[in-house]
Amino acid sequence: MTGLIITGTDTDVGKTVFAAALVAATGARYWKPIQAGLDGETDSQTVQRLADVASMRIVPEVYRLKTAASPHAAAEIDGLEIDVERLEPPATEAGQPQLVIEGAGGVLVPLSRRMLQADLFARWDLPVVLVAATRLGTINHSLLSIEALKRRAIEIRGIAFVGEANDDSERTICDFGKVRRLGRLPQLAELTPTSLATAFKQNFSREDFV
Ligand SMILES: Nc1ncnc2c1ncn2[C@@H]1O[C@H](COP(=O)(O)OP(=O)(O)OP(=O)(O)O)[C@@H](O)[C@H]1O
Ligand SMILES: [Mg+2]
């Protein structure tokens, strides 16, 4: 892994929690280039807490937007426009921990009036992991996300489910979407660095991500 993008079928599906598990399991650094919403803990702070890593493993955000909204709208509220030229992933050198990049919201979230997030992923030319909930509606959201990624020739490393088991939904998405199921992070009653690391180890193979 030189860089792996964590995207999702929606906002609030569990990208940050999954990214934290991945950072802890692989030793990678974490980067959330666009943080929209500064009330409460930011995604970078959540990852640092849940992965239980030193702050040097967290690459600073490029845009810290006040409002929890789509990046294009949050940027406009702050009186600026997101410039994709500023969103180049930090270089990873040989021997250095690699990089987990968390996107904002879902695949087709606008970054500006001109660009969707998936267009930025295509420009980066890095593989993505799609985080999908297992709840009702996930088949539609997941297959739409997969189509949007494939249309832009973005490599999909696989799909990571989050939530209670739903074997039929998971199988249906992987069959129609022709994507690999990487595992499922169960709903954890207590979310701590230890419970998360254990759940990741039990349900995913670290080798799929390095
Ligand atoms: N496996 C899990 N077990 C328990 N709670 C979880 C799990 N995964 C996610 N959550 C909870 O669900 C909520 C949303 O998760 P998370 O912040 O990871 O979503 P996200 O996709 O990163 O959202 P955003 O689009 O805002 O970045 C959080 O409150 C988080 O603690
Ligand atoms: Mg997040």
The rounded mean pLDDT for the chain is 96
Which three-class secondary structure string do you get for 56-118?
Answer: HHEECCCEEECCCCCHHHHHHHCCCCCCHHHCCCCCCCCCCCCEEEEEEEECCCECCCCCEHH
For residue 13, the ligand 1 atom closest to its alpha carbon is 21
* 6 close to 89: Cβ distance less than 8 angstroms: no
183 vs 185: CA distance, rounded Å: 7
- Statement: residue 160 has pLDDT above 80: yes
Q: Is 190 in the pocket of ligand 1 (CB under 6 A)?
A: no
Rounded CA separation 51/44 (Å): 10
Q: What distance in angstroms lies between residue 126's CA and the mean position of ligand 2's atoms?
A: 19
Statement: residue 173 has pLDDT above 90: yes
Helix, strand, or coil here: 51? helix
Q: Answer whether 17 contacts ligand 1 (Cβ < 6 A).
A: yes
Q: How many CB atoms lie within 10 A of CB 70?
A: 19
Name the residues annotated as catalytic. Answer: 32
Q: Is the pLDDT of residue 94 over 80?
A: no
Q: For 114-126, how does the pLDDT look when each residue is reduced to its tens digit (9 = 90+)?
A: 999 999 999 999 9
Looking at residues 179-184, what average pLDDT do you find?
A: 98
Residue nearest to atom 11 of ligand 1 (CA): 14
Segment 155-181 mean pLDDT: 98
Is residue 8 within 6 Å of ligand 1 at its C-beta?
yes
Give the number of the atom of ligand 1 that is nearest the alpha carbon of residue 43.
Answer: 27
- Among 16, 130, 192, 194, which residue has the most ligand 1 atoms within 8 Å of its CB, making it the best to mutate? 16
Give the three-class secondary structure for 7.
strand
Q: pLDDT band at 1, cuts 50/70/90?
A: low
Whether 166 and 137 have beta carbons less than 8 Å apart is answered as no
The residue assigned the tokens 């039990």 is: 202
Q: Is residue 3 over pLDDT 70?
A: yes
Specify whether the CB–CB gap between 206 and 188 falls below 8 A: no
